[in-house]
Amino acid sequence: MTPTDSNSERTGDAEAAAPCGVDPDSESASDSGPALEPGGIADARATLYELLAAAFDGEVDVLATAIEDGALVDVAATLPIGSEPDALGRTAVDADALSIAYDNLFVVPGPRYVPPIASAHRDRPSESFESDSPFHDEGAAGELLGDPAAAMASLYDRAGFRPERGDFPDHVAAQLEFLAATTRAAALRRDRGDEDAAERFERLQDETLTQLGWLDSFHEAVADADGDGVFAATAALARTAAAWHARDLDGDGTDAETG
């Protein structure tokens, strides 16, 4: 769903954490490829977020096609991700096997299950959190619909946005979908000459990226559980893309050129 213009200002209620624990200035980052204009960067970034959102929402056919086409490995080659992108460089992908891997990792509780929601990866529980679940101990970290979900729901409300992906406001697919939508919205307003509206959408991006500090533990957990490596590489790509996005916003308030 496309976000709407809003005059609301940054609330400051986002969890004070680094967006992602990767270094965008790492020497392993590639400096190859042509420089892009800011609008081109925004479009490419939004397209990547949309693809990642689809992948983490269970659309394995979309992920398989992107791998076979070389789209993801090309993007990964420009980012400091390490050796994991090798799993994205395949010329043939078994979509059925990928679907089973997705279910084992993100749907069916079991030895390989990794919750794809931010609340489950908190180091401390939300103060007001209550649960009658037999899988949650009161006062312990890891929860459902905790503070991260409330923070994301607030961001969606401010933007007039309703996620179509993910089962919860802090599901990784919903968060990436929101980043894609606000990235496109900011670029569109800037193209129209509405700098104030563009900056409002960039503030929403900034606050969302602050909420994505949990992608560090998410990626590490997926890497430990994913025997095939495709979803570990996809999580690494999401984590690193978010870190670079945060760097660009912190630089000068607009998407920086790359080259």
Residues 6+ apart with CB under 8 A from 63: 51, 54, 55, 72, 93, 98, 230, 234
Enumerate residue ranges in the chain where pLDDT < 50: 7-19, 21-36, 129, 131-141, 253-259
What's residue 77's pLDDT? 82
CB atoms within 10 A of CB 35: 9
Instruction: Go through the domains of the chain in sequence order and give each one's CATH number.
Output: 53-252 (1.10.3480)
pTM: 0.79
Rounded distance between C-alpha atoms, residue 189 and residue 37, angstroms: 16
CA distance 39 to 256: 10
Looking at residue 40, what is its pLDDT?
84
Could you give phi then psi for residue 192, rounded to 5 degrees? -85, -5
Helix boundaries (H) for 22-59: 38-56
Q: Are 237 and 81 in contact (CB under 8 A)?
A: yes
pLDDT score for 150 = 94
pLDDT at 251: 79
**DSSP H helices in 57-94:** 60-69, 71-76
Nearest to 122 by CA among 206, 57, 211: 211
Q: Which of 258, 218, 1, 15 is nearest to 124 (CA)?
A: 15
The two three-digit tokens of residue 214, written as one number: 């949990």
Instruction: Dig out the tokens for 143 from the structure.
Output: 């929860």
CA distance 41 to 191: 13
pLDDT at residue number 125: 56
Q: Which pLDDT does position 137 carry in this prediction?
A: 45
